[in-house]
Structure 1
Amino acid sequence: MRSWRSAQGLRAAGVGVAVLGLMASGCGGDGGGAGADGKVEIRYSWWGGQERATLINKTIALFEKKHPNIKVKTDFQDYENFWKKFNTQASAGNAPDVFQNSVAFLRKYDDKRVLLDLSSQVKAGNLSMENFRAGLEKAGNVDGKLLGVPVGGNTFALVYNPAEYKKVGVTPEEGWTWKQYDEATEKISKNGKLAGDSGPGGIMYLYDLVLRQHDKAFFTEDGLGFTEADLKQWWTDNYDRTRSGVLTDPKKAEQVKPTSALSKDLSAGEFTWDNFLVRYTSETKTPLALAPVPTTDGKRTGQYISSLMLSGSARTEHPKEVAEFIDFMVHDPEVGTIMGYDRGVLSTTEQFEAYKPTGVSAQIAEYEKKVADNVEPITPHPAGADICEAAFLRIGTDVVMGKTSPEDGAKQFFAEAKTALAS
């Protein structure tokens, strides 16, 4: 890592999966009209576990109580199965009226004419884009269209073991550098039973931040914003640090999945989204904390606020009701108190101020307050970004395991990315 940082200068929030191609959809509608009771029915789908479903169903009951003319039919799956089902529905022109989405998929599905441009509903007064935190009101804007509305925000962080860092005399705080991170992880791996870090080599979002610190980016409007030589150096550094024991043995990390290597006390830190602290602390008795991403110059982290969003179907027959539903879900204070930080720190001030976080959630809120002044705009991901993310993780893992060389891995990634971004 040091050579990359001195010369030129990732686990993701949700690992992208290669999704099926979609047939282009028109702008008609097949969402169904009002029922015999005069109510309009809209379909709402999301990914997540049973706990998220329980919370969302409570918010839907609240919405239907306050909007008795609208009935919401629900469906949820785990991440991978959600996208498989969604692709089948969208290919048939039958996507849910409103659904959970993320920035990685906006351009992809807009290119396939699946997403509803909500701009007209904002103008009509059915959806407010006021009172969003940290510039999140812009997160769903792509090419002048409003394709998604954030329900929660998160940013990257180092989830770490404070006790282990204290032993080596390093405090990971705002403005700390990659040199300090390198020194800390090396000392931890030498002085204790833990590796210094779980291993960042395959985390696309972290590599993006490293690139941004050097005035580059993982994605640009034209494709990839870095070279094969850049990536070869990144993976060489990670391979060398893995072999020396500074980073967790990738075979051991694979064995404990889906639990993180950090939660299993295999490492003293792991780069991931800040709201993952909730999950990680539930997996271990070891106290954990959040630290900002290290910097090259002591100032710039390259961090941005990402988010889960709600999007509408371009084929819905009920754009007004879809907009009213989204508006309620992102602005109603009681919805905020119900959902908490399940999908990230609440995106609007109404909900952020209504929810009083405690414990781990309070740590996440405090962390986002500290980094909020230094976050940067996010670059909309191109169509095929999800396939690139999956390839980066897979090939990066092969490199640190020694299954392929950093040079061959970089060549393979660029070949696969070229195909994905051209499709």
Structure 2
Amino acid sequence: MPQTTRPSRRRAPRPGTGRFLKAAAVLSTAALALTACGGDAAGGDDGTATLRFVWWGSDARHQATQEMIDVFEEQNPDIDIVPEFVDWSGYWDRLATQTAAGDAPDVMQMDLMYIREYAENGVLLDLSDVDMSQIPEDLRQSGQTEEGTWGIPHGLTALSIAANKDLFAEAGIELPDDATWTWEDLKAKALEFEEKTDHYGLTSLTATMTLELWLRQHGQQFLTEDGQLGWEPEDAVSYFEMYKDLADSGALPETSVIAEDQLPSLDQTLTAKNQTAMAPWWSTQLTAISGASGSEFVPLRLPSVTGSAEDAELWYKTSMFFSASSKTEHPEEAKKFIDFLVNSKEAAELAMTERGMLANQEARDHIYPMLSDQEKIVADYITAIEPELGDPVPIPPQGISDFQNLNFRYDLEVLFGRQTPEEAAKNMHAEMKSALG
């Protein structure tokens, strides 16, 4: 059930940027057709416009968001925001149910995984006239289709290798030059830890992001603009071969350890327990990892095939959007509220990095002096890689909600030796293609 009371402030891992997204209900077109049957919160007797606003997140996010609401209402006494929040695991089922019943909230937190699905089924309001001038073009495109703008990015993140700086120092091992290293260099650095310490050098490779990065570095797309697979089975064989080579060389833990490390909460992972020197994580997760481990982490670029950062093909990922219902009775007020959340300095000071590093460059610069040392390291990484970014990643199509779990399953099939790289690539491609219809 949604909560409306203010919880105590505490920091916790961000559910929306976890390494493996939990499965959520996929909306059916038939269910969405029911959205025309209902309406959203109307205005009050005193002429105020009432907007329901729903989001997922930790207690710290709930507290910060309520404070943002309070400031907005003070500045806009004719708009009343009714907060609703749930945890990540129940968010999408509840939103799908509300939408099917014609009871969608006016403003909602939206994830990259589902934005096309909701947009193509007519659930979302076109936000093309909301100011995004301070948001990088790559991120703007992540919430857009040819028909309109369906989400305004609030936070951003990028794939990184989280390197435990304290473990490197204790072992007397130099941090790699992430602007020039290759996948072979990554293996060599992991093996150096295996040989000199009792820590793992590297844990695993994050599905599906590492696969997508590998395909991009080899001139392929994971997904095309029209929502189809942009690669053939033979294109993924080298990815599985590279992964298996890491395992066979001893650069990775035993496969059973890799499998177990995907199950616990963030604070129980090998990374947060200071048992590995390096692991792929989204950059904005480093602050939570540092807090859980008590160690300092630095984000490193993922390796490239050529040894040039310009060929690493990294990209900015929107950690989450703000969207509005196409059925809201107050579209202009909804846009005004979203504009405040994304573009105002007051909201930036309250949000800080709770929803990821701020996508708005001006807002990010404004809060930079207020960030912790660890957060500044992440902010610097986000800024440093911008000139090196590859092409934007297309907005995901419907049907990919289980791709991460599917990819990870085939990773294990190869690492356990139950399937060859060729077999895994062929079977995984077939399952993904089927899921996309």
For normalisation by structure 1, the TM-score amounts to 0.88
Q: Which SS does the other structure have where 1:275 is aligned? A: helix
What is the CA deviation profile of residues 379-423 of structure 1, one whole-angstrom value per residue up to 9, with x for unaligned ones? 21121122223322343345434565544443442232122211x
Cα distance in 2 for partners of 1:137, 1:221 equals: 15
Deviation at 1:294, TM superposition (A): 1.2
2:219 paired with 1:215? yes
C-alpha spacing 1:330/1:394, structure 2 compared with 1 (3 Å):
same
Matched-pair contact (CA < 8 Å) for 2:34–2:100: no
Q: 1:149 aligns with which of 144, 147, 152?
A: 152
Deviates more, 1:269-278 or 1:174-183: 174-183
Q: In the alignment, which of 318, 324, 335 is matched to residue 312 of structure 1?
A: 324
Q: Does 1:279 align with 2:285?
A: no
How many angstroms does 1:242 deviate by?
A: 2.8
What is the aligned counterpart of 2:189 among 184, 189, 209?
184
Question: Aligned partners of 1:275, 1:97: CA distance in 2, in Å?
Answer: 28
Name which of 21, 25, 31 aligns with 1:19: 25
Q: Which residue of 2 aligns with 1:131?
A: 134
CA distance 1:405–1:16, change in 2 (3 Å): farther
Instruction: Name 1:340's counterpart in structure 2.
Output: 352
Is it true that 1:94 corresponds to 2:103 in the alignment?
A: yes
Are the counterparts in 1 of residues 34 and 101 from structure 2 also a CA contact under 8 Å? Answer: no
Whole-Å separation in 1 of the counterparts to 2:137 and 2:165: 28
Cα distance in 2, alignment partners of residues 186 and 375 from structure 1: 29
Which whole-Å deviations, capped at 9, do the CAs of 1:220-278 have from their partners, x for residues lacking one?
13511222233344234323433543113343352671132211233211111100001
Structure 2 unaligned residues grouped into runs of 5+: 1-16
Aligned-pair identity in percent equals 25
Change (3 A) 1:176 1:245: closer
Match runs of 1:230-269 below 5 Å: 230-253=235-258, 254=260, 257-258=264-265, 259-269=268-278
Deviation at 1:72, TM superposition (A): 1.2
1:381 matched residue in structure 2: 396
Amino acid at match of 2:158: T
Partner of 2:436, secondary structure, is helix
Contact kept, 8 Å, 1:55 with 1:339, in 2: the verdict is: yes
2:297/2:374 contact within 8 Å kept: no
Aligned to 1:324: 336
Out of 157-166 and 71-80, give the one that drifted further: 157-166
d(CA) in 1 for partners of 2:132, 2:246: 45
**Aligned residues of 1:25 and 1:93 also touching (Cα < 8 A):** no
Note if contact 1:104-1:386 (Cα within 8 Å) is conserved in structure 2.
yes
Secondary structure of the equivalent of 1:74?
strand
1:134/1:373 CA distance change after superposition, 3 Å: farther
Change in Cα spacing, 1:264 to 1:405, as seen in structure 2 (3 Å) is farther
Distance in 1, matches of 2:402 and 2:98, equals 20
CA distance in 1, matches of 2:406, 2:41: 39
In the aligned structure 2, how far is the partner of 1:111 from the partner of 1:91? 14
Task: Count residues in correspondence.
Answer: 405
Deviation at 1:163, TM superposition (A): 4.8
Deviations 1:345-401 (A, max 9, x none): 112234213212221111111111111111232221121122223322343345434
Distance 1:134 1:110 in 2: 20
Residue 9 of structure 2 corresponds to none
What is the letter of the counterpart of residue 305 of structure 1?
Y
AA aligned opposite 2:336: E
Deviation at 1:207, TM superposition (A): 1.7
SS of equivalent residue, structure 2 residue 338:
helix
**CA offset at residue 174 of structure 1?**
1.9
1:157-168 matches, within 5 Å, as 157-165=160-168, 167-168=172-173
| Maintained 8 Å contact 1:387/1:417 | no
Mapped to 1, the partners of 2:181 and 2:161 lie a distance apart of 12
Distance 1:221 1:138, change over 3 A: closer
Change in 2 beyond 3 A, CA 1:365/1:51 = same
Moved more, 241-250 or 208-217: 241-250
2:182 alignment partner AA: T
Which segment is superposed worse, 248-257 or 354-363? Answer: 248-257
The unaligned stretches of length 5 or more in structure 1 are 1-10
Confirm or deny: 8 A CA contact 2:166 2:295 kept in the other structure. no
Partner of 1:47: 56
Query: 2:123 & 2:425 partners in 1: Cα distance?
Result: 33
Q: Which residue is equivalent to 1:366?
A: 380
Matched residues in 2 for 1:130 and 1:209: separation?
28
Contact 1:199–1:247 (Cα < 8 Å) also in 2: yes
Is this contact kept in 2: 1:136–1:150, CA < 8 A?
yes
C-alpha change, 1:94 and 1:404, in structure 2 (3 Å) is farther
What is the alpha-carbon root mean square deviation over aligned residues? Answer: 2.3
Instruction: Please give the alpha-carbon distance, in whole angstroms, between the structure 1 residues aligned to 2:248 and 2:85.
Output: 41
Between 315-324 and 378-387, report the one with greater CA deviation: 378-387
Q: Which moved more, 1:394-403 or 1:156-165?
A: 394-403
Tell me if structure 1 keeps the 8 A contact 2:215–2:222.
Answer: yes
AA at the equivalent of 2:313: G
SS in 1 for 2:40: coil
Q: Aligned partner of 2:379: which letter?
A: A
Q: TM-score, normalised by structure 2?
A: 0.86
- Alignment correspondent of 1:173: 178
Output one character per residue of 1:69-99: Cα deviation in whole Å (capped at 9) or x when no partner. 1111122222221111111112223222111
